[in-house]
Amino acid sequence: MEEVKNQKVVQGIKTFLNRTRILDEVSYKNMQIFPLAIESIVDFDYLTLDEALREGQIEIGEKGAGSVPELTVINKGNKPILIMNGEELVGARQNRTVNTDILVKGKSEVVIPVSCTEQGRWSVPTKEMETPDYVSPIRSRVSLLKGVSHSLSRGTGYTADQSAMWQTVGNYQAEHSVRSPTGAVDDVYKSKKGDIQKYLDAFSKKKNGWNGMAVAINNRFIGLDTFDSILTFGKVWAKLVRSYALDALNNVRESHLAKENIEKILERLKEAEFKIFESVGLGYDARISSGSYIGSALIHRKNQLYGVVHLSVFNKEPEGEGQEQHIEQAEMKPASERTKFYNKT
């Protein structure tokens, strides 16, 4: 896949960033949320993945007999459907996470790029897939960004680094002392549901008027997610908070990152390197790189204007990276066994 030279797309991202305001932070324990409000000049009409599943407007299943890095999506409705990067999909032959943001065109079928987040299962418990109440944890999303960005730079599409994803999932299991019979990140979330809910409850009454949020944990910027619409963020924010909160459960200490730090990051992003590619679905996929920050944005056009649908940026080394990894190798499946599942076709 070749890079697209489109300065209007780049300008659409910069305009979005220029119109972003950082509101006063809210915090709980070691997690700070800096609300982001955007005076968006372009907003789009689409369903979130949860809405589409609830309304029966989407079907997600294996491609043919099954291919680990691909799934088939059918949009049965007229509206586009937004599938975020890091959306977890459970069921079918094994659980997956979505490699990049995808806006699925109405009345269409598309094959989407995914990564396995359950290395020890290859069966058919369900015909179709569902999405849980969380997205992939932060280090998994960083892994997706790194892998897909590298793949796009080589011209090999939206493929992620599956081995790195398995390692990241294994790290989460070890850090939270979770033994999963199939190596699923879903079991980590289930085991920590009560602890994560405390973070969600603490923030639940404070999200009005937000398009997104920047998050700091233990005095370190971790990442941000922001959207074209307040309504969209309101629909997905709980899934995102759970994702960030999982990383906040370890090494809890007070966090006092100043608002000025987030302002500097946004300023730096305006001068980032942007590489534009045709998206898997509607619009364009922008890869964002600026020093220690890495991200992506889904951009679409409406009335001759290019606007951001979803933008996410993360610290390349989020909290937990580089720390001692308490992984008992005996609990990890050998590489040959993990590869056996990945090579299923």
pLDDT tens digits in sequence order for the chain, 345 residues long: 899 999 999 999 999 999 999 999 999 999 999 999 998 888 899 999 999 999 999 999 999 999 999 999 999 999 999 999 999 999 999 999 999 999 999 999 999 999 999 999 999 767 789 999 999 999 999 999 999 999 999 999 999 999 999 999 999 999 999 999 999 999 999 999 999 999 999 998 778 899 999 999 999 999 999 999 999 999 999 999 999 999 999 888 888 999 999 999 999 999 999 999 999 999 999 999 999 999 999 999 999 999 999 999 999 998 544 333 333 332 334 434 444 444 444
Contact 94, 341 (CB under 8 A): yes
pLDDT for 318 equals: 82
Residue 81's DSSP bridge partners are: 47, 104
Q: How far apart are CA 62 and CA 72, in angstroms?
A: 6
Residue 310, token pair as written in the block: 């979803």
pLDDT for 330 equals: 29
Q: What global pTM score does this model have?
A: 0.92
From 75, 49, 60, select the one nearest 127 (Cα to Cα): 60
Q: How far apart are CA 143 and CA 204, in angstroms?
A: 28
pLDDT for 206 equals: 77
Residue 60, token pair as written in the block: 């997600």
pLDDT for 125 equals: 66
pLDDT for 328 equals: 33
Place of tokens 């979130």: 48
pLDDT for 327 equals: 30
DSSP state at residue 118: B
Q: How far apart are CA 301 and CA 318, in angstroms?
A: 32
Domain boundaries, the chain: 7-43+139-319
pLDDT for 321 equals: 43
DSSP state at residue 2: P
Contact 218, 173 (CB under 8 A): no
pLDDT for 319 equals: 58
